[in-house]
Structure 1
Amino acid sequence: MSKWKWASAGVIAALLLTMNIMLFGREETTAVEAPRLKTAGSLERNFIKEWNVTGFAQSKNTFDVHYNPTLGAIKEIQVSEGETVTSGQTIASYENNDIEKELRSLKRDKEAADVKSNHYSSEITNWQSELSSFDEDKDSADTKVMIQKQLADAELEVDLAEKESSVLFDEILEVEKKLDELSIKSPVDGVVTEVNGSDSGKPIVEIVGQGNYEILAEVNGTIAGIVKTGDEVQFTTPAAKKKLTGTVQSVMPSKKDQQFIISIIAQDQSALTEGQKANIVIPEMLSANAVSVSQKAVINNDGKQYVYTIDKNKLYKVEVSTGLKQNGVVEIKKGLKKGEAVVMNPSKVFVSGEPAFQLK
């Protein structure tokens, strides 16, 4: 019987030894796997809220063409709303019969003076030919005198006709200038946005020039209190393939109660057209240069929040005060400094002061 007791005791001892070896082996394995513990440094970052508002592009180059009654009545408006015009293009014209009548009369008088000049120029040619063929021996002296007189008279008539033609030419230019003023030219390349009658009291034509666009957006008081002149904002348009940048020029009260108009000048003017829609992103700084960590690093325990830091291969449990949360990142208001290493896979079973390599 005693022999069986000793045999049983031996089996039990062998089992205990085997268990100890297994436990020891597991601890050794844990020590090897522990360095796989994930850590990351706490960083400074800005927490920003983005407000999205809608605006529309509007050119600051707006030109109004007004009716001038001293030039006569409007004869014709040659453009329509929405039409694209070029600088110098005739967009409307006045009717002034007196100026047109005067121009016709001057042109007739100049034409008569030119005909007279041409006639006497031919006479000069003829008399010069007669004089060159004059025979002093055969022809009488009186004939020569007569030829010379006719030549002199023709030269005088040509001179008078040319002077008259020159004066009439200058007068025609002046009247044509007046007539040209009856044609209203577009001052810029742009788009016709308004066409009115001469008796409407409004500009007969309004043109919005290309370029120098501003984006106008109506916002509430909250957003108006966020932005200020000189702030940089980003916006997109349906035609743009990337985000564009603009600068806030002004924030002014709107005609609507508690509403404001924000004016933004785009850096890239070529990206805008009149009336184009723009989606504007206005940033609001909620917290600048705030110490932050991944939300995965923070654990809740007994109504408090903690992170685990590692210092000199030891684990320390640190109570923290959190704030804003954005995109999986949380602001640490108190308890951490920038650059401290925090554990990314913390557990409530971790013990503060424990060697880091013992963690599972």
Structure 2
Amino acid sequence: MKKKWTWAIAVIVIILLIAIALILRQANNSSKDNNGYDTYKVEKESPLNLEGKASPKSVKTYNNNSQLGTYVSTQVDDGQSVKEGDPLINYEINNNKRQQLIDKVDSAKNENERAEAQQQLNQYDRQVNDSIYAAFDGKVDIKNTDHVSDGEPILQLVGDEPQIKATVTEFDLGKIKEGDQVDVKVTSTGKKGKGEIQKISELPKSYEERLNKGGSGAVATDSSSEEGGGTQASNPVSDPSSGEDSDTSKYTIVIDNIDIPVRAGYSTDVEVPLDAIKLPKSVLTKDNNVFVVGKGNKVEKRDIKIDKVNGEIFVKEGLKTGDKLIKNPKKSMNDGDKVEVSS
């Protein structure tokens, strides 16, 4: 009889404990519902902040070119501003040479001879223009005026248009593209302006620096600097791998169309506004849907397209700035449910 009472009491205690647990759970759920769901407001990603250096977009060196004639003097002063097409250098040129080329064109017996003669005349005219006249608007920097040997620099023309070179890491490279508008601030003066990403380097800086040092596989690269006369470089095939596997690759970007004057060498802060929308993992369901809070706190279950880059979630399609999303939605939540939100 005593054992029966003991079992009965034990069963009653267990039932009471279960009942208390259910009551506490219901009270906890009710408290959560009263507090409401946390929400996330959809916003564009913060701007990308970079540091850059200003340089002239174009610099051209004018060397003494004895093939044209005898160098006489410069036609401009040091520091003088010039316009494209202005004469910069005086040569004593034998005009008979050009006339001979013209006569050769006129006396050609067939189309092939005429085309070849015309090409020689055009090449001569280009050489004259390239060695005497300003190729773009800019300022003159006199290098040498007296006793200039053949091939030695006479002056440099420094372009008026500035450009800025900045560096971006491999983790941010996919966030930008050529043509993106940027905000520019000159660090020393505080002047602000706008610019545009004109070029993004295909190769990381580590490889470009190795080439510039004349290492294995070094090649002559195209640049804004020009010479009055040039040489043809060889073009070996190179292995682009360099640096340690653990190093973060960095790439050079060139910013052009800057609407404020920036002196060469000045440091700049560059801000790239980003259109990308980044989401926290907490707003996604298992099937990568989200619940958008609408009028009257009714939720819309929305199918969105996402990309995952370096562990971060980016929206490709389906959301806009200002949308309010439910964080940590319950599995039982359905399209059209009315919810309480805490934020």
- Provide TM-score, normalisation by structure 1: 0.39
- Provide TM-score, normalisation by structure 2: 0.40
Larger radius of gyration: 1
